[in-house]
Amino acid sequence: MTADLHPWAADLPELHMQVWTRLVRGVRDRRAPTRHPTLATVTPDGKPQARTVLLRAADKNTGTLDIHTDLQSSKVADLRAAPFAALHVWDTGAHLQMRLEATVTILTGTDVAATWAGVPDASRRSYGSLPAPGQPIAQALDYAKQPDAASFAVLRLTVQTIDALHLGGHHRRARFDRDADWSGTWLAP
């Protein structure tokens, strides 16, 4: 029955388009499931880490996604050691799981100055923390948030693969690869 609700799930180009349409919507729509994906990295000692992030930009033409972060965060250290990440989104309404693998570039300083200029004052407090994010503190509120442009970074994810799984009356799964010009291949779900 779900396949009838989502006919795009039966067509490779349409499925690929739906993934990107939903990612782009996540940048603009606070209620979109793709607004808060899970970003996974690996620590320098090989331990997996996953955290919810806020999607800030999505560009289908370049196959890139942007996430803002504090330069002092552990995910930055992870990505400096291994510049690869996975992004996971579950879209309940579409019955669609999206798993994306990406290479990551950490942009800072003059490369993000224009982006920093557009960050609302209230949001700037997320970039600049004493002590650094994740450091031990004696009490729950023993930290200070001080907006600091030098602590602001953009993680530019260059998507390499997309694994899209649509759950319905007949599950459908496909993989799209940048190296194959996003043509898509059906996979057993």
Do residues 99 and 166 lie in contact, with contact meaning Cβ atoms separated by under 8 Å? no
Do residues 18 and 60 lie in contact, with contact meaning Cβ atoms separated by under 8 Å? no
The CATH number of 2-116+153-187, from 3.40.50.720, 1.25.40.10, 3.40.1050.10, 2.30.110.10, is: 2.30.110.10
Coil, helix or strand for 47?
coil
Interval 146-165 mean pLDDT: 97
Predicted confidence at residue 57, as pLDDT, reads 98
Query: Rounded to whole angstroms, how far apart are CA atoms 66 and 145?
Result: 23
Question: pLDDT tens digits, residue range 108-146?
Answer: 999 999 999 999 999 999 999 999 999 999 999 999 999
Q: What does pTM read for this prediction?
A: 0.94
Question: pLDDT tens digits, residue range 51-102?
Answer: 999 999 999 999 999 999 999 999 999 999 999 999 999 999 999 999 999 9
Do residues 100 and 43 lie in contact, with contact meaning Cβ atoms separated by under 8 Å? no
What are the extents of the domains in the chain? 2-116+153-187
